[in-house]
Each structure stands twice: as C-alpha cells, then as structure tokens.
C-alpha cells in the first residue's frame, strides 16, 4: 500500500513536472509565435506604409499632370489675336458687258472673333446641352470626351469639332470666318483672272494687273474685314438688313450642321409603308446618324416644320442656303479638301454615310466628307438632294400647295427671315410652267448677282445646265419649281457636289430629303 501510495505520490509529481514542462514549452512556443506575429505584422505594416507613400506620390504626380493637361487644353483651344493683312487699294472701273469666267476658283478663309478681329484659331464651339465626341481611330467610332480635351478638334489639321445630342444624333461645328474667292484662267490655277471680295466680283484688267473691272456689286449690309475679306453672311447680324444676306438676329460664333442627311426612326411600320411625308412625333423620330436610310419622299413644307420642331432649345431649323454656302466654302478651303472635289455618296439605297455598316462609314467612306476624314460632314454630294429653306416668291401655286401658307410654313410669307432665304426673280417669271426655259432660269439667276456666300453666283457661270464648279448642276428656281435643292442625288452622278444647285416644285420625291442645323448662340 505504501509502495502504491509512493507510486501514487511519484505519479503526481511526474504529472506535475510534465504539466510544468508543457507549460514552459507552451510559454516558449507562445513567445515564439508572438515574435513571429510581430515580425509578420511589421513586414505587413512596412508594405502598407510603402504602398500608401507610393499612392500619395502617384496622386501628387497625377495632380501635377492633370494641371499641366488643363493648362495645355486652355492654350490649345483659346484663340489669339493676329495682325490682319493690310488692305490693298486698286483702281476699280465700273463696266458693262464684261464677263468673268468663274469656273475655276480657290477660297481663302480667315478666322474671326465676334468683334471681327482676326484670330489664329476658330472660336470654341458652343455646346449648350450637346456632348463633345472625338474620333477613336483604333476602334472606328466616336467616343465621348470633354470640351477641354485638346484632341477634340484641330481645324489647322483638318479635324473638325463633333458633338452628339441626347438621342445620339451627330453634328459638326462650322466656326465663324471671313472669306474671299480668287478666280483663275484655267484648271492649272496659275494665272489670276479675278476676285470675289467685299468690293464686288472683279475681273483683272488685261491691260493692267492692278486695275479691276467690276462685274457685280455686293449686296447691301455685307461686312468687309481686313484686306477686303467678307464676313460670311451665315455668321452676321443681318436683322437691320431684313435678313437679305441669310444672316441672323445677332453675331454668332458659328453653328452646328447635321453630320448626316436626316433619317427617320420609327416603329410605325404600317404608317411608313403608306407615306413618309409626315410630321415627326414621339413615335416618328428625326435623326442624324450613320448607316441609316435617308428620310425621303417628304415635302418641303414638312421638312421645314420637322427641322424647326426638332430641338427648340438649340434653335433647330432647316438648313439655310447661306449655311450651306458656309459649309461649302470651309470644305473647299485649306481646312477641308483644299480645293479637291468631294467624292459622291453613290449608295443607291440612299444610306447615310454611303454604306449600311456604321464601322465601314468611318473605315471606308470617310473620303466622301467635307474634309476627307471622319470628322467632316457626310452626304454633301450625292445621297439625296436636300431641300434648303430657300425659294423665289414668284406666285407659283406650288409655294403654297407644297410649302404651306401658314405663318410657320416656309411658304407662309414672301419675306426673308433668320430661318429662310427668299431670292429675287425676274418680272417675266409668272410662276407658271409654260415659261420654264433656259432663258428664264438665267434671268432669275442674274437677278441675284449681289448675293454672297451662298455658293451660287460666285461658283458658277450660268443659272442653267452644268456650269457649277466641277461641272455641278446649276439650275436656278423658275416657274412651277420655285424651291431650291442642293448637293444633288445619287441619280445625278458627277453633276452632284458641294456646288450643285437645282430647283424643285416642293413635292415629296423619292430622291429628295433634308438636313438640319442648330443655332446655339442664344
């Protein structure tokens, strides 16, 4: 029993010793683990501190870079005043029965601010609620940007400003400028034969290169800038002149023109199967988008109303002939094609952009634009002929039948306004179809020899046949065809182009559509 008790005592001691040993080992293990944890925590803390410092440094660097970029944006987008070319005085003789061949010309442009001072870059586009977009050449599409982005536009490098609205329709900015036209003897463009500038249309005398013969006077109210440049009428305050030049009721920085001919978007298939000569609504939408069927078979009355109602917040309207001229002159200048003819949208299905795949519009068909790249205006040559807000008030019944006779209709009155151009006509034009001969076309054409900036008289020789630049059609309104259409359709072939003009009775036609413009200067 004693032994057993001793054993019991011995076992207790052993047990206690074992427990103590275990506790000691546990203590050292705990210390070891604690030490390891401390090391790990220290390492992690060091890494975190390093990361935080790195992030802070990157934020500072990014902030500096952002500030630098903002400074660059301001420097690249804000125009600077430049010294104007001094005015040169020449002897100008008033003559009769002297003609000037205007078949070959080049257009010079200078940028202006709203005080008509010359600037090195165009005035910045006014967006209102439009969203700036720039072309992504890697993915053949436009992407959203901000108005301070230096890559948004660069007219010196023929990159024009683009924007979209809430329905993703595209528009292109046409900035304020002044222009003059220099005429040449032939297509070699070597020998100067005359000018169209603020002094009139002038022919260089055969006897003295510093003496000019006046062929046509300029319209009243036109603004001379610098060395006899003409402030383009599309940008002028023309109210005091009763809008005879196609201007506005205030000086403007520019205007937005639809990038594409108008297209129709609707789910009302039944309606569209019957007619497209309808007014837009919440179910029948007007748009300016690529790879869409152009809105055809619409009367000039409904085209005028639809364009006006499209976006009243941005003063939408049917393109005026003065605005078409501004686009044409900018396109033909060094900021556009630099004197090269436009390629024709020859799509026989009248698809905007020339092809029914949006990527291919930018990948392939950009050569058709106003500046031969993706940032320009499409469909100016071919596609559909485009109704403009222009006509002659010659008492043709079609003015009221197809143009309407309400106060808000294009045919509602006979007066110019900031939304339409009303041209003169010869007294012999009675508005009837029985007087529709070449002589009457030419008479009406010559009645408007004072008009400037509209790409009519300045860029053609006659008001009939194909005397426009690049043999474009040049048929002035007459008789039962009092309305003006521009650009030509795919059916017109080589007669289509920037300098194409023709007449129309205003009826819905399968080869005639329209385009809208926005005046955002209010």
pLDDT in tens, 399-413: 999 999 988 899 988
Question: Among candidates 373, 404, 255, which has minimal Cα distance to 317?
Answer: 255
Per-residue pLDDT, averaged over 424-450, amounts to 92
pLDDT in tens, 387-397: 999 999 999 99
* Strand runs labelled E in 314-417: 316-318, 385-391
pLDDT band at 96 (very low <50, low <70, confident <90, very high): confident
pLDDT for the residue 175: 99
Pairing mode of beta strands 170-175, 192-197? unpaired
CA distance 142 to 160: 13
Question: Among candidates 243, 260, 90, 82, which has minimal Cα distance to 178?
Answer: 82
pLDDT in tens, 13-23: 434 443 444 34
- Lowest-confidence pick of 86-95, 133-142, 337-346: 86-95
CA distance 358 to 142: 11
pLDDT in tens, 463-515: 998 999 999 999 999 999 999 999 999 999 999 999 999 999 999 999 999 99
Residue 42 sits at φ, ψ, to 5 deg, of: -65, -45
pLDDT in tens, 148-198: 999 999 999 999 999 999 999 999 999 999 999 999 999 999 999 999 999
| Residue of higher predicted confidence among 455 and 30 | 455
Per-residue pLDDT, averaged over 107-130, amounts to 98
Instruction: Give one DSSP letter per residue of 203-245, joined into a string.
Output: EE-SS-TTEEEEEEPPPTT--EETTTEEE-GGGSB-GGGTTTT
pLDDT for the residue 10: 41
pLDDT in tens, 22-74: 344 444 444 445 455 566 666 666 676 767 666 655 654 555 454 444 444 44
Strand, helix or coil for residue 519:
coil
Residues in the chain: 522
pLDDT for the residue 21: 40
Question: Among candidates 440, 514, 508, which has minimal Cα distance to 477?
Answer: 440
Delimit the domains of the chain by residue range: 1-77, 91-241, 262-341+384-518
CA distance 216 to 94: 9
Q: What is the rounded radius of gyration, in angstroms, for the C-alpha atoms of the chain?
A: 35
Is residue 176 within 8 Å of residue 170, measured between CB atoms?
no
pLDDT for the residue 78: 85
- The per-residue pLDDT of the chain, averaged, comes to 89
pLDDT in tens, 191-216: 999 999 999 999 999 999 999 999 99
> What global pTM score does this model have?
0.85
Is residue 288 within 8 Å of residue 169, measured between CB atoms?
yes
pLDDT band at 331 (very low <50, low <70, confident <90, very high): very high
Chain mean position to CA 377:
6
CA distance 447 to 166: 43
Instruction: Give one DSSP letter per residue of 267-332, joined into a string.
Output: S-HHHHHH-S-----SSEEEE--TT-BB--S--HHHHHHHHHHS-GGGTEEEPPHHHHHHHHHHHH
């Amino acid at each position: 029993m004693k032994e057993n008790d001793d054993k019991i005592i011995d076992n207790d001691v052993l047990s206690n010793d074992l427990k103590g040993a275990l506790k000691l080992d546990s203590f050292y293990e705990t210390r070891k683990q604690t030490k390891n944890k401390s090391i790990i925590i220290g390492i992690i803390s060091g890494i975190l501190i390093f990361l935080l410092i790195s992030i802070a440094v990157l934020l500072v660097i990014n902030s500096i870079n952002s500030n630098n970029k903002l400074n660059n944006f301001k420097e690249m987008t804000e125009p600077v005043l430049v010294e104007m070319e001094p005015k040169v005085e020449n002897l100008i003789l008033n003559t009769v029965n002297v003609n000037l061949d205007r078949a070959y010309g080049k257009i010079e442009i200078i940028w202006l601010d709203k005080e008509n001072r010359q600037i090195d870059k165009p005035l910045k586009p006014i967006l209102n609620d439009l969203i700036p977009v720039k072309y992504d050449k890697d993915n053949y599409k436009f992407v959203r940007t901000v108005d301070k982005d230096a890559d948004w536009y660069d007219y010196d490098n023929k990159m024009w400003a683009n924007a979209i609205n809430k329905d993703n329709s595209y528009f292109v900015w046409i900035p304020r400028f002044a222009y003059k036209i220099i005429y040449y003897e032939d297509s070699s463009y070597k020998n100067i034969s005359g000018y169209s500038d603020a002094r009139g249309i002038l022919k260089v005398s055969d006897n003295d290169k510093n003496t000019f013969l006046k062929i046509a006077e300029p319209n009243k109210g036109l603004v001379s800038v610098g060395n006899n440049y003409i402030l383009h009428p599309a940008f002028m305050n023309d109210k005091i002149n009763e809008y005879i030049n196609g201007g506005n009721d205030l000086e403007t920085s520019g205007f937005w023109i639809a990038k594409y001919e108008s297209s129709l978007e609707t789910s009302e298939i039944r309606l569209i199967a019957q007619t497209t000569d309808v007014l837009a609504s919440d179910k029948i939408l007007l748009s300016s988008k690529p790879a869409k069927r152009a809105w055809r078979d619409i009367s000039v009355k409904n085209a005028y109303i639809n364009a006006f109602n499209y976006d009243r917040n941005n003063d939408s309207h049917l393109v005026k002939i003065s605005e078409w001229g501004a686009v044409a002159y900018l396109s033909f200048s060094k900021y556009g094609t630099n004197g090269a003819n436009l390629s024709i949208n020859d799509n026989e299905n009248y698809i905007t952009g020339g092809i029914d795949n949006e990527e291919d519009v930018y990948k392939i068909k950009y050569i058709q634009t106003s500046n031969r790249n993706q940032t320009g205006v499409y469909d100016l040559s071919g596609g559909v002929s485009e109704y403009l807000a222009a006509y002659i008030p010659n008492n043709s019944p079609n003015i009221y039948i197809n143009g309407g006779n309400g106060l808000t209709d294009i045919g509602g009155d006979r007066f110019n306004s900031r939304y339409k151009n009303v041209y003169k006509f010869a007294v012999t034009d009675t508005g009837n179809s029985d007087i529709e001969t070449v002589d009457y076309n030419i008479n009406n054409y010559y009645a408007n020899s004072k008009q400037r900036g509209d790409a009519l008289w300045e860029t053609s020789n006659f008001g009939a046949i194909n005397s426009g630049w690049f043999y474009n059609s040049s048929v002035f309104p007459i008789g039962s065809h009092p309305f003006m259409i521009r650009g030509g359709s795919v059916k017109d072939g080589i007669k289509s182009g920037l300098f194409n003009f023709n007449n129309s009775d205003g009826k819905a036609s399968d080869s005639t559509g329209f385009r809208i413009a926005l005046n955002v200067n209010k």
